[in-house]
Amino acid sequence: MKGGGDSWEGYWTTKVGWASQGKILVRGYRAEELIRRLTFAEAAYLVIRGELPTPPRAQALDAVLRSALDQAFISSAVPPARFAASAAPEAPAGAIAAGVIAFGSVTGSPRQCAEMLIAAHQMMKRDRLGLAQTARRTVERYANEQRKIPGLGHPMHKRSEPRAQALREIAMKLGVWGERARLLDAIQREATRCFARPLTMNLAGAGAAVLLEIGFDPLEMVGLAILGYLPALIAHTTEEIREGVPLRIIPEALGARYAGPPERRLPARYGKRPRAP
């Protein structure tokens, strides 16, 4: 208990919003005013960051949220949602949550790329380096540590990731493809040169760069990426419930196989029960 004794005053405090009889405040603004006057992206920016965005920042956030609407079976989030929906069609919220839980550092989170860009940008300023020098040091560090460079590479789009390119173009037109975003461009060029093969900027990388430039921090980006996935998860979940197969399985024809020991019998000593005294 905060303050000791029996007082719970101040145990929980929030700057996000508050409701009382006849009044709902969101970051100090009346909820009904936000409903009447703001777009979803503007309101989302306000709720998360605490202040209203400039028009370019709101448009850039809207583009980020639109960029991941295509989620299909290649996405790690869609099959878990559909499996859960097929097993418990009465619980669509659980199926959507199953898809959200499958979201992480390997499956499209912009957080890791954003953290890399922040560290690289700090190094660039500290050591007074250019973009190319900073990119070279960054790529060398990841190569020496045998780690994958976040924000680069895609299992299907080897030369150009169409969503990432579209988002980058919009950000450039809006004037929000700033220095940290250009650093990602430089890291991509250096990685392609270093590894002697194309390494395309993926959507997580482009999203991380844009979100950094419009004021978000890496921790907030995790939820924003999930927010962009949600329409697709809703669509897949409801489609599975309406049209899917109850209790889906992975048959041998789709690659399921057993790799354990062959059939065997328990040793004779098992199953023998000691006599009661």
pLDDT tens-digit map of 170-221: 999 999 999 999 999 999 999 998 887 888 999 999 999 999 999 999 999 9
Please report which confidence band the pLDDT of residue 5 belongs to, taking 50, 70 and 90 as the band edges: low
Instruction: Report the alpha-carbon distance of residue 103 to residue 192 in Å, rounded.
Output: 27
pLDDT of residue 103: 81
* Helix pair angle (111-127, 131-144), 10° resolution: 120
Average pLDDT over residues 65-74: 84
Position 32 pLDDT exceeds 60: yes
Tokens of 244: 């899917």
Tokens of 115: 């953290």
Instruction: Report the alpha-carbon distance of residue 104 to residue 111 in Å, rounded.
Output: 9
Burial class (CB in 10 A: 0-12, 13-18, 19+), 204: buried
Domain range annotation of the chain: 23-53, 111-223
* Helix pair angle (218-243, 55-66), 10° resolution: 40
Q: How many CA atoms lie within 13 A of 196 on its CB side?
A: 0
Please report which confidence band the pLDDT of residue 52 belongs to, taking 50, 70 and 90 as the band edges: very high
Please report which confidence band the pLDDT of residue 92 belongs to, taking 50, 70 and 90 as the band edges: very high
Instruction: Report the alpha-carbon distance of residue 235 to residue 106 in Å, rounded.
Output: 23
Integer angstrom CA distances of residue 206 from 52, 161, 167, 178, 190:
23, 10, 7, 12, 16
CA-wise closest residue to 194 among 144, 120, 130, 157: 144
- As a dihedral over the C-alpha atoms of residue 10, residue 11, residue 17, residue 19, rounded to 10 degrees, the angle is -80
pLDDT of residue 48: 97
Start-end of H helices in 196-217: 203-213
Average pLDDT over residues 231-235: 94
Start-end of H helices in the chain: 31-37, 40-49, 55-66, 78-87, 92-101, 111-127, 131-144, 162-174, 179-195, 203-213, 218-243
pLDDT of residue 131: 96
Q: DSSP state, 25?
A: E
Average pLDDT over residues 106-122: 91
CATH 1.10.230.10, domain 111-223, yes or no: yes
pLDDT of residue 236: 93
Instruction: Report the alpha-carbon distance of residue 39 to residue 49 in Å, rounded.
Output: 15
Position 25 pLDDT exceeds 90: yes
What is the percent of the chain where pLDDT is above 70?
95
Max mean pLDDT range (17-21, 39-43, 263-267): 39-43
